[in-house]
Chains A and B, each alone.
Chain A
Amino acid sequence: MRPYFEKMPGFGKELKENRIARTQESRARLEALEAEIAAARKAKEGVGLPAAEINKRGALTVWQRLEALVDAGSWHPLHSLYNPRDNEEGTTNVVDGLGKISGRWAVIIGFDNKVLAGAWIAGQSENILRVTNLARRLHIPLVWLVHCSGVKLPEQEKFYADRRGGGTPFYRHAELEQAGIPIIAGIYGTNPAGGGYQAISPTILLAHKDANLAVGGAGIVSGMSPRGGFDVAGLEELIARARDIKERPPGRIETHYGETGFLSRVYDDEEGVLEGIKEYMRAIPAYDPMFFRVAEPAEPRLPAGDLYHLLPFNQKEGYVFDDILARLVDASEHMEFRPGYGPEVYTGLVKIDGMLLGAIGNRQGLLPKGYPEYADYPGIGGKLYRQGLIKMNEFVVHCGRDRVPVIWFQDTTGIDVGDAAEKAELLGLGQSLIYSIQQTDVPMMLVVLRKGSAAAHYIMGGPTANRHNAFTLGTAATEIYVMHGETAAVATYARRAVKEKDAGKPLEPVAQKMNEMAQKYYDTSRPAYCARYGFVDEIVNLAALRGYLKAFAGAVYQNPESICPRHQLMLPRIIRG
């Protein structure tokens, strides 16, 4: 199959001077928003105790541990701004992302020991759920930096119980292990109760000499003699017990290394634990990337910096999707699937770091005359019509057959609506796409370039409507909502406006309500909002997008659950005809 992949057709046009000139403001707005996101990320990294204070106590911060653990240049953070329960700490108190350790990809997560000594807080279990799902979907190890003081007791009602509550990581770890995915834990600090289970539930346990893991910590054990209330005499007893137990807290290293033997290894210094993780990572099953490469890796022929002039910040402005994709894929080459059919959607094979991936994206702007063929109105990119839906169904089915992972790019206003659209079966074709995606069982990722809207956000590989979306990225131009705020205001208030008019009442209050609703939609669809509430897993600079694509490609081909021999691939042959 070498002739298919070594040199694929080039695509994408050079950026023109007049477009560069005309898009300076758009570029500035994109970069300004990227700077805002970077500042928010930086602020979140600094929450809690200063690093110097942690270091003074003889420990490293989670960020310092990550710095020492992860291969240089391979860290791709996720959930940086995630804080879905609006915690006052501004964080879910875990830090996670994709990174390489000893040259192998892993999903890496650690408690932020600067904040409440790494306590469980609200929203954290949702964050961990995303991380365990990610390891499961990419079929790569999960690496934990455990340093967890257990439940933030004054707020336990927010996260202790519930089907998706604080204990769910423990059975999710078990599920990963059942699927053959190892969890390697480096354990630091005091880890009582929930923290103890965080420490014990992974596959391989490596601990620092001062670490501690226990069913119940010293605080709980010393407080286990309630008299039905507190008085001074009782407190005196409590103080004595607390002093005694502080000397010899339960769950010491001497217990869990020397007696139970839970811990595989214990290290005298912090860095030793990280070296231990690296050693175990070298021992995991991982293909050399050359095993699955269909061609030598190559950077795009067209520069990533052009993206700032190609993706308009103005949501109403069209652009050429193919020109954007050409700046993200190896050598700016591709093999387009059914180019003359379903013109509102791009489908094709591309290479990322020499590995084969499927790409699907919304095209923008006016569609050729006569399309959609079932209607007497013109078609516009970003919307989905019959042929585009059929084409995406076909493409993902072929990707499933060929075991080719898929990258989706969304900028969609939705599926065409109206009587003609219903007769053209768009409702059924949209749901069919969800079914087709689910059937493929190949890993997918999504980039919401600008709009993710209506059911189209679901059916085009969105995280809401399938189990194969490993992660979703947004950009500085991303906005995600069920429909545009103005459309929603009309849908909500049109009848009321008619009633008020018929009753002879003033219309200004209705107009005000409509404006308020449109503004709320705007405010709750911004990139930072999308990241905070988990609509996306990270907002990424346009210039950094390709790095995440490479991380995805490297991760999914590291140890895939199933393989299609390259000489038995059908998609390239179907495309060639």
Chain B
Amino acid sequence: MAEEIRAPLAGNIWAVLVEAGSKVEEDDELVIIEALKMENAIFAPRAGTVSEVRVKKGDKVAEDDVLVVLE
């Protein structure tokens, strides 16, 4: 089942650590958002395969924007 991983807050994409097809474990880091003067890691909520990455380094994101889709 596809699960959309969303930005918990607005910020800039500092790093994208996965790509489509990446297999991830629960708590693996997916994306790092720079916000509130910190680099905030977004973690995988469960194990799975990344089916889609919708952001790239340098993008601005708003709260609730989809970052990654996890199968």
Contacts and interface: CB of A to CB of B under 8 A. Distances in A.
Interface string A399-442: 00000000000000100000000000000000000000000000
Given A18-B28, A22-B17, A380-B36, A318 B9 contact: no
A43 interface: no
Contacts of B25: 16
A65 B31 CA distance: 55
B28 A318 contact: no
Interface string A372-411: 0000001010100000000000000000000000000000
B43 to A, nearest CB: 9
B12 interface: no
Give 9 nearest A-B pairs by CB, closest first.
Answer: A316-B39, A380-B36, A378-B9, A317-B39, A366-B40, A316-B38, A366-B8, A318-B41, A365-B40
Contacts of A318: 38-41
Contacts of B41: 317-318, 365
Contact of B27 (A13, A364, A380): A13
A79 B8 CA distance: 44
Interface of A: 13, 16, 18-19, 22, 314, 316-318, 364-366, 369, 378, 380, 382, 413
Nearest to A484: B37
Nearest to A381: B38
B20 to A, nearest CB: 17
A316 to B, nearest CB: 5
A16 B28 contact: yes
B9 A366 contact: yes
A16 B9 CA distance: 26
Interface string B24-60: 0101110010101111110000000000000000000
B29 A382 contact: no
Nearest to A18: B28
A359 B56 CA distance: 39
Contact of A316 (B9, B17, B28, B37): B37
A314 B28 contact: no
B37 to A, nearest CB: 7
Contacts of A19: 29
A170 to B, nearest CB: 49
Interface residues of B, number: 15
Contacts of A366: 8-9, 40
Given A317-B32, A378-B36, 19 more contacts: A16-B27, A16-B28, A18-B17, A19-B29, A22-B17, A22-B29, A316-B37, A316-B38, A318-B38, A318-B40, A364-B38, A365-B41, A366-B9, A366-B40, A369-B8, A378-B9, A380-B38, A380-B40, A382-B38
A575 B66 CA distance: 38
A29 to B, nearest CB: 16
B15 to A, nearest CB: 9
9 contacts: A18-B28, A22-B17, A314-B39, A317-B38, A318-B39, A365-B38, A365-B41, A378-B36, A380-B36
Contacts of B38: 316-318, 364-365, 380, 382
Nearest to B42: A366
A450 B21 CA distance: 36
A13 B26 CA distance: 11
B10 to A, nearest CB: 9
A18 B27 CA distance: 11
Contacts of A22: 17, 29
A568 to B, nearest CB: 39
B68 to A, nearest CB: 15
A317 B32 CA distance: 9
A16 B25 CA distance: 9
A56 to B, nearest CB: 57
Nearest to A486: B37
Contacts of B9: 366, 378
Nearest to A413: B37
Contacts of B17: 18, 22
Contacts of A13: 27
Nearest to B38: A316
Contacts of A378: 8-9, 36
A204 B39 CA distance: 56
A518 B67 CA distance: 34
Looking at B27, B34, B38, the one whose CB has the most chain A CB atoms below 10 A away is B38
Nearest to B24: A18
A516 B15 CA distance: 30
Nearest to A380: B36
B25 to A, nearest CB: 7
A264 to B, nearest CB: 59
B36 to A, nearest CB: 5
Contacts of B28: 16, 18
A19 B39 CA distance: 15
B70 to A, nearest CB: 16
Contacts of B39: 314, 316-318
Nearest to B9: A378
B4 to A, nearest CB: 16
A375 to B, nearest CB: 13
A254 B51 CA distance: 89
A382 B25 CA distance: 26
The residue among B8, B32, B36 with the most chain A CB atoms within 10 A of its own CB is B36
